[in-house]
Amino acid sequence: MPFGNSHNQLKMKFSSEQEYPDLSKHNNHMAKVLTPALYEKLRSKQTPSGFTLDDVIQTGVDNPGHPFIMTVGCVAGDEETYEVFKELLDPIIQDRHGGYKPTDKHKTDLNPSNLKGGDDLDANYVLSSRVRTGRSICGFCLPPHCSRGERRAVEKLSVEALGALTGDLKGKYYALKNMTEAEQQQLIDDHFLFDKPVSPLLLASGMARDWPDARGIWHNDNKTFLVWVNEEDHLRVISMQKGGNMKEVFNRFCTGLTKIEELFKNKGHAFMWNEHLGYVLTCPSNLGTGLRAGVHVKLPNLSKYRQFEEILKRLRLQKRGTGGVDTAAVGGVFDISNADRLGFSEVELVQMVVDGVKLLIVMEKRLEKGQAIEDLMPAQK
């Protein structure tokens, strides 16, 4: 919650035991790590903006999780959350990001010329290609904790910065609360419009407060570069197009991001970044690159193959339905993307997707012809 941290003082009047949440039915990263002893140690702390331990974990307390899906169960309210509550967040980050240690350094690489290939994914199979990430603006609290004034300031700054983009990146901002019916329908048809979050994972963290105040969508005139303002993060940046030219998508992604970063810097605002955690975002699962590079690809045969999951795992890829996270695949079309976020650079992750999807298509083609694919089984990356 945004203001006033005298509420945390109130809790200190009760013993740690009396306040400790009941996590006995929980299955998320937070519940695995937050012992009573750790709760006691951290509960009196708060970040300079007043974000507390209970603020961090509320979403994890309210959403016990799922037997099969391990959610994170924590959010950050500001950049300092990751420092002040590192004893809770470091082990969670380590578990979620494949063993990434508190002493590890994260590499950022947004040079698209380092990507090999990726311009020729078979368009008979790959329907669309997309890369997304998030960025947070230094000095402002994150969506779970920001006040209306802060959120509006983030919007104002973002609209000004994006307004300075030129060439094929030149575009327009659509504030959610001012949108006309016609604009809204167009954005829906373009698959650009984001809705007020309905997932209890997000709602419980407070990031949907004051909806739709200071939320909006910016996109370029070509409709290939898109920025969401004040949804789950300050900014979500998306590059996408139909077909299989991931290289072009990634080119535009890097160029656009770099330009945007420059424009923000010109206004005296850097993005939240440090050499340990990379880009700092609201959810610990999006640290590092915050990058998800993916394709919508037709794999009707391969998806029924008994080792499909194993193949994806070895390629460090993840499948989702075409409606995004938590949706089911429709008609054999899957959203295939990188599983990792932290500990690999942007180029490395996109490379994994490009190489991995190429292989999946080869396998699909073999299975179409009734041929075996065991010899194609990849090693664990």
Partner 1 sequence: MASSFARVLSSKRKVGILSLVGAGSLTVGFFLNREQHVNAGAHVRRIYPPSAEYPDLRKHNNCMASHLTPAVYAKLSDKTTPNGYTLDLAIQTGVDNPGHPFIKTVGMVAGDEESYEVFAGIFNPVIKERHNGYDPCTMNHPTDLDASKIRGGQFDDKYVLSSRVRTGRSIRGLSLPPACTRAERREVERVVIDALAGLKGDLAGKYFSLTLMTEQEQQQLIDDHFLFDKPVSPLLTCAGMARDWPDARGIWHNNEKTFLVWVNEEDHTRVISMEKGGNMKRVFERFCKGLQEVERLIQEKGWEFMWNEHLGYILTCPSNLGTGLRAGVHVTLPRLSKDPRFPKILDNLRLQKRGTGGVDTAAVGNTFDISNLDRLGQSEVQLVQTVIDGVNYLIECEKKLERGQDIKIPAPISQFK
Binding residues for partner 1 (CB under 8 A): 1-11, 13-15, 18-22, 48-50, 54, 58, 61-62, 78-80, 139-141, 147-150, 152-153, 177, 203-204, 208-211, 213
CB nearer partner 1, residue 208 or residue 373: 208
Q: Which residues contact 147 (CB under 8 A, 6 or more apart)?
A: 2, 3, 141
Q: Is 333 helix (H, G, I), strand (E, B) or coil?
A: strand
Tell the smallest beta-carbon distance from residue 144 to partner 1 (Å).
Answer: 13
Residue with tokens 């005296």: 268
Q: To the nearest whole angstrom, how small is the minimum distance from the Cβ of residue 184 to partner 1?
A: 14
Q: Which residue has the tokens 């994260």?
A: 106
Distance in Å, CB of 13 to partner 1, minimum: 5
Q: Is 159 within any annotated ligand binding site?
A: no
The annotation status of 191 as a binding-site residue, yes or no, is yes
- Work out how close the CB of 105 gets to partner 1 at its nearest, in angstroms, rounded to a whole number: 21
Of 51 and 228, CB closest to partner 1 = 51
Contacts of 233 (CB under 8 A, 6+ apart): 134, 135, 136, 142, 143, 281, 282, 286, 290
- 322 annotated among ligand-binding-site residues: yes
131 is annotated as contributing to ligand binding: yes
Paired residues of 278 in beta bridges = 274, 288
Query: Any binding-site annotation on 324?
Result: yes
- Using CA atoms, how far apart are residues 225 and 257, in angstroms rounded to an integer? 10
Minimum Å distance from CB 97 to partner 1? 24
Least gap, CB of 151 to partner 1 (angstroms)? 10
Alpha helices in 227-377 (DSSP H): 246-266, 308-314, 346-368
Q: Which is nearer to partner 1, 9 or 266 (CB)?
A: 9
The answer to whether 99 is annotated as binding is: no
- Does 96 show up as a binding residue in the annotation? no
Pick 58 or 338: Cβ nearer partner 1: 58
Closer Cβ to partner 1, 107 or 209, answer by number: 209
Edge-first strand listing for the sheet containing 333-338: 171-175, 216-220, 225-229, 235-242, 126-135, 292-298, 333-338, 317-320
* 129 appears as a binding residue in the annotation: yes
Cβ proximity to partner 1, 144 vs 356, nearer residue? 144
Comparison of 51 and 225: residue with beta carbon closer to partner 1: 51
CB of 139 to partner 1, least distance (A): 7
Sequence-separated (6 or more) residues with CB below 8 Å from residue 199: 326
| Token duo for residue 16 | 């740690």
Structure-token match 């010109």, residue found: 266
Residue (of 145, 274, 159) closest to 218 by Cα position: 159
DSSP conformational letter for 28: B
Is the distance from CB of 108 to CB of 346 less than 8 angstroms? yes
Residue ranges of the binding site? 128-132, 191, 236, 292-296, 320-325
Residue ranges of the binding site for ATP? 128-132, 191, 236, 292-296, 320-325
